[in-house]
Amino acid sequence: MGLIGVALASYLRLTTNQNQLSQRSQVWNSSLVMAESGIEEALTHISWNSTNLAAQGWALASGRYTKTTWLGSGYYVASISTNSPYDAISTGYYPMPGTSSYVSRQVKVTTTAAPAFLGAIVCKGTLSLNGNPAEIDSYDSRTNSKSTNGKYDAAKRGDKADVILASSGTSFGIGNGNIWGHAYTSPSITVSKGPHGTIGDVAWQTSFSGFQPGWVVNTANITVPDATTPFTVAVPPASGSVGGVAYDYVLSSGDYAMATLDKKCIVTGTRVRLYVSGDINSSTLVIETNASVEIYCAGTSASFSTVNNKGTAPSLKYFGLPANTSINLSGSWVGGVYAPNADFNIAGNKDVSGALVVHDVSISGNSGFHFDEALLGSSTASDVIIASWNEL
């Protein structure tokens, strides 16, 4: 009986230890879920409130913006650094059953700005060049060897103007147009051309026609997410005078919201974001030297008649939200466009500079699109992606 008792006690002890280990393992995993939930909220907060991190319950403490959130029996304490590139630290806590103690795990992520532009043109639907010839080439506003005072110069143009058809795309035809860069498509798409259509580098463009070997790639697998706005509520811009010229809207640094962007607008701030809830019919848009603006449009159409960007293409970025299906740019446009549901057309003798992410593209006549290489990988002011993830 004594031996049986010892064996039974040992078995019960073993069973108890296994149960505790099982509970410990479950709580250990649950505390990591809590920590990762804090990281999720921190990244969302950065994207939506990067200009005011002391919002939505976050408070500055010990040099970091911090928030504590309960989720059922567990909770997390998340914190964000004060400056970009941001890092986020989250500690998740989950209780051990039958005790008053918590198991904790801590995670830290570093971030980098999310890229908006992967090349000269990214389109979700179709691309059509019909010109004499319609051309897509590149320049680099960051150096005078590839630009003149930061502007496009045909004598210095380059071959970094890659054109990408997303996996959802259905047609890629260049006619007699010229692409000074690569063409990327999914395996199901065949790039078509006319007798004088050309895709290739600078040397190829000057000596050959057709497709340079290795410059048409049909293994691309690209998806294009919708644009999102970092905010929808902000103060409207006021009118004013700049340099003796009267403007209907003057945008200094900060966030603004309005029903429509029309009339005369000038951007003077180094970091301006503008949300437009309706259509845009801009008569005059001026971006002062060293100023920059991101425009988010929720309307169905956007039209810009006269654009005077005194800086370079990265100074002006336009984001068409999901309802935006049409965009019309004047030949004076110099900036990035991210409007994946909007169709883009230029014809005649119009030249547009910057980068495009749109649905359908049509370039005809003697028109040209000039990609500013400075926009490659350029990001929004708010969206971030994880650069590293470590458990501390």
Tell me the three state secondary structure of residue 177. coil
Asked if 319 and 225 sit in the same domain, the reply is yes
Band of the pLDDT at 84, cuts 50, 70, 90? confident
Distance CA 319, CA 324 (A): 9
Higher pLDDT, 340 or 230: 340
Distance CA 122, CA 352 (A): 15
Task: Provide the number of structural domains found in the chain.
Answer: 2
Distance CA 76, CA 95 (A): 12
pLDDT of residue 147: 96
Asked if 356 and 272 sit in the same domain, the reply is yes
Residue 7 has pLDDT above 80, yes or no: no
% the chain with pLDDT above 70: 93
pLDDT of residue 21: 56
Higher pLDDT, 22 or 312: 312
Asked if 280 and 315 sit in the same domain, the reply is yes
Higher pLDDT, 238 or 225: 238
Asked if 97 and 141 sit in the same domain, the reply is no
Asked if 305 and 227 sit in the same domain, the reply is yes
Side-chain half-sphere CA neighbours of 372 within 13 A: 30
Of 17-26, 207-216, 258-267, least confident by mean pLDDT is: 17-26
> Tokens 């498509």 sit at which residue?
185
Asked if 37 and 93 sit in the same domain, the reply is yes
Asked if 250 and 206 sit in the same domain, the reply is yes
Asked if 66 and 187 sit in the same domain, the reply is no
Asked if 268 and 131 sit in the same domain, the reply is yes
pLDDT digits (tens, 9 = 90+) for 181-205: 999 999 999 999 999 999 999 999 9
Residue 16 has pLDDT above 70, yes or no: no
pLDDT digits (tens, 9 = 90+) for 273-321: 999 999 999 999 999 999 999 999 999 999 999 999 999 999 999 999 9
pLDDT of residue 330: 87
pLDDT digits (tens, 9 = 90+) for 111-155: 877 678 889 999 999 999 987 789 999 999 999 999 999 999 999
pLDDT of residue 10: 67
Cα→Cα distances 108→245, 260, 387, 388, Å = 50, 41, 11, 8
Residues 371 and 136 sit within 8 Å (Cβ to Cβ)? yes
List all residues 6 or more positions away from 34 whose beta carbon is below 8 Å from its beta carbon.
Answer: 71, 74, 75, 76, 90, 92, 93, 94, 105
Asked if 145 and 59 sit in the same domain, the reply is no
pLDDT of residue 313: 95
Asked if 75 and 99 sit in the same domain, the reply is yes
Band of the pLDDT at 165, cuts 50, 70, 90? very high
Instruction: Name the strand (E) or helix (H) holding 238.
Output: strand 238-242
Distance CA 25, CA 29 (A): 6
**How, if at all, do strands 87-95 and 102-115 pair?**
antiparallel
Higher pLDDT, 107 or 347: 107
CA atoms 97, 98, 100, 101: torsion sign = negative
Domain that holds residue 110: 2-115+384-391
Query: Bridge partners of 354?
Result: 335, 371
Residue 14 has pLDDT above 70, yes or no: no
Band of the pLDDT at 17, cuts 50, 70, 90? low
Asked if 161 and 272 sit in the same domain, the reply is yes
pLDDT of residue 318: 96
Measure CA of the first residue to CA of the last residue in the chain; give whole Å.
51
